[in-house]
Amino acid sequence: MTSSLAGATQEEVRRHNLGRLLRILHLGGPVSRADITRLTGLNRSTVGALTTDLARAGLAVERDPVGRGVGRPSIMVTPHESGAFALAFDLRVERTIAAVVSLGGAVASRREARHTNRDPDPEAVFRQLERLTAELLADAPAGAVCLGVGLAIPGVVRHSDGLVRFAPNMGWVDVPVAAMLEARIPGAGPIVVGNDADMGAIAEHLRGVGRGSANMVFLAGQVGVGGGIILDGRLMVGAGGYGGEVGHMVVNPGGRRCRCGRRGCWETEIGEEAVVRALGGQPGDPVDALLAEVPSAAEAGRLGEIGRWLGIGVGNLVNVFNPDVVVCGGLLSKLLPLVADQVRDELEAALTAPREQVRLALPGMDRDAALIGAAESVFAPLLDDPIGCVERVRERAA
């Protein structure tokens, strides 16, 4: 008994340590072997063996250090950016963004295409997506390994099979997005389809303003308001993958009818339509242009009610989740600076204990958060088991 179990777990330890090292490289960039030793607590010879393994697998590059220091200089280890990549898609209401995201997290190349009409036909979107992918792959470095496909969409996604149950602002109901991707881009590897706010939350948690915060609420507001929740360092998924629909908390039962059918959901009070209305615009007017005309918080009186609703909802989330940080993304990132006072006043009324622990923040990533999060969903299994993951990719390709 003992030897076989011990054998299995020795391999597990190696796998675990390879993952830790690759995670350091992937999220932190180039680092010396000496720093890895310090960061991990592993001894020098172990670190040397592990980085050599990563280099052999095509995931890291080892280089003699440039310049002279005191003592023997330590070898620099770099993520092998042209060694492996993820295909990432950010499906938005009005357009599709496609990118090759390299190991290390950089966007190596990207393409965009607008949808030809509102409520776009899924088949047309996936044809477009196939074309963008062909262009991207033509540019990908020779020999680079495609680890898989990640896609973010503003909708409710079934975790088990990537079925989009409901994407109200695209007019999609029960669209088998993962299956359609598989048909259009066969052989690209595992496919992960996720809600855009969940994907954005992953990106902000790993690389943005949520770095170091184990408990984060990420709000992605535009037409609707989505939420991605990180708890104890992990994305909240729920029973089917539908968790985090904080835009559909009823906060004002006497309010307007929501697209979901209920009355007074949070997104009816702070979403795009509400902002346009508050600024005197007509339905369909471009909210960004209207907001740009609001010169400063002092003159933002017309947004006061919206600020109050933003604060009430954030207060609810603070009481319910006790996060370290609430990140206001998308439209809310433009709104927050204009209504910070109203939000603060409402937030003051949340329970003292969780309120004292929370900060409000603007996103640390640019508008690529969902795209990067989609890529990180593809990188996640690689960071759990680097060598095994690469071997599986090569077997698939053979």
C-beta closer to a second copy: residue 30 or 264: 264
C-beta closer to a second copy: residue 237 or 340: 237
- The answer to whether 379 touches 147, Cβ cutoff 8 Å, is yes
- How crowded is the C-beta side of 42, counted as CA atoms within 13 Å? 20
* Residue ranges that bind a second copy, judged by CB under 8 A: 1-2, 5-7, 9-10, 12-13, 43, 45-46, 49, 156, 158, 165-166, 213-215, 227, 231-232, 234, 236-246, 248-254, 260-262, 312, 315-316, 319-324, 349-354, 357-358
Least distance to a second copy, CB of residue 159, Å:
9
Least distance to a second copy, CB of residue 228, Å:
12
- In sequence order, what are the residues at sequence separation of 6 or more whose Cβ sits closer than 8 angstroms to the Cβ of residue 382? 22, 59, 84, 103, 147, 389, 390
C-beta closer to a second copy: residue 292 or 351: 351
Least distance to a second copy, CB of residue 245, Å:
4
Least distance to a second copy, CB of residue 1, Å:
5
State phi, psi for 331 to the nearest 5 degrees.
-55, -35
C-beta closer to a second copy: residue 233 or 337: 233
Sequence-ordered strand ranges (E) for 340-387 = 359-361
State phi, psi for 190 to the nearest 5 degrees.
-55, 145
Tokens matching residue 151: 């896609």
Least distance to a second copy, CB of residue 85, Å:
29
C-beta closer to a second copy: residue 241 or 386: 241
Rounded Cα distance, 153 and 93, in Å: 9
Least distance to a second copy, CB of residue 260, Å:
6
C-beta closer to a second copy: residue 150 or 227: 227
